[in-house]
């Protein structure tokens, strides 16, 4: 395998520290990994600038590249800004399987302030209600399903 592909494989397998069921590649946070002058350069776009997990994610990617035998450098790419649209279809399936409703509808600032209609990840019912603005992390809100009574996290559109 060529070095760049091997480096991508190592970096893309890093789980998100807040949602360990998905990888940084599933979330679209890891933009690219290239070999530049013998150094694996991983370009990372944080989910949002205030997300406390950003540094942990960067350190984990750097460590994964080092473990795979690379000299590593992380470059933070802020533009274009990450949106939940970047979460891959595979990533959305994994979130659902983990009991987290993936973001619905187009991303955007309005989504931050509106209360979206959310599908229950367990039973698929649309009859859900928001019980808390913030779930286990600031990136998520807590919902409850009226059909199956299960509380669940919703990954907010950003």
In the list 6, 31, 43, 122, the residue contacting Zn ion (rule: CB under 5 A) is 122
Cβ nearer to Zn ion, comparing 69 with 151: 151
Helices (H), the chain: 3-12, 24-27, 53-67, 89-97, 109-113
Strands 39-44 and 30-36: antiparallel
- Rg (Cα) of the chain, in Å, rounded? 17
Cβ nearer to Zn ion, comparing 97 with 123: 123
Which H/E stretch holds residue 144?
strand 140-145
Minimal CA–CA distance to 74: which of 42, 111, 107, 40? 42
- Kindly write out the interface string for residues 130-149 of this chain, putting x where it contacts Zn ion by CB under 5 A and - elsewhere: ---------------x-xx-
CB of 125 to Zn ion, least distance (A): 5
Cβ nearer to Zn ion, comparing 47 with 128: 128
In the list 24, 57, 61, 120, the residue contacting Zn ion (rule: CB under 5 A) is 120
What residues make contact with Zn ion under the rule CB under 5 A?
120, 122-123, 125, 145, 147-148
């Amino acid at each position: 395998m060529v070095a760049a592909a091997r480096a991508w494989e190592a970096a893309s397998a890093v789980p998100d520290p807040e949602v360990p069921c998905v990888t940084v590649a599933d979330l679209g946070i890891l933009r690219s990994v290239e070999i530049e002058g013998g150094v694996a350069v991983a370009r990372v776009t944080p989910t949002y600038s205030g997300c406390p997990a950003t540094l942990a994610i960067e350190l984990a990617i750097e460590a994964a590249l080092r473990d795979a035998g690379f000299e590593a450098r992380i470059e933070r790419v802020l533009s274009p800004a990450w949106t939940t649209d970047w979460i891959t279809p595979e990533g959305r399936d994994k979130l659902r399987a983990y009991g987290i409703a993936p973001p619905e509808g187009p991303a955007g600032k309005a989504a931050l302030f509106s209360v979206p209609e959310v599908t229950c990840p367990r039973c698929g019912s649309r009859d859900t209600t928001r019980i808390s603005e913030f779930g286990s992390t600031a990136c998520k809100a807590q919902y409850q399903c009226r059909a199956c009574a299960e509380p669940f996290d919703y990954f907010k559109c950003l």
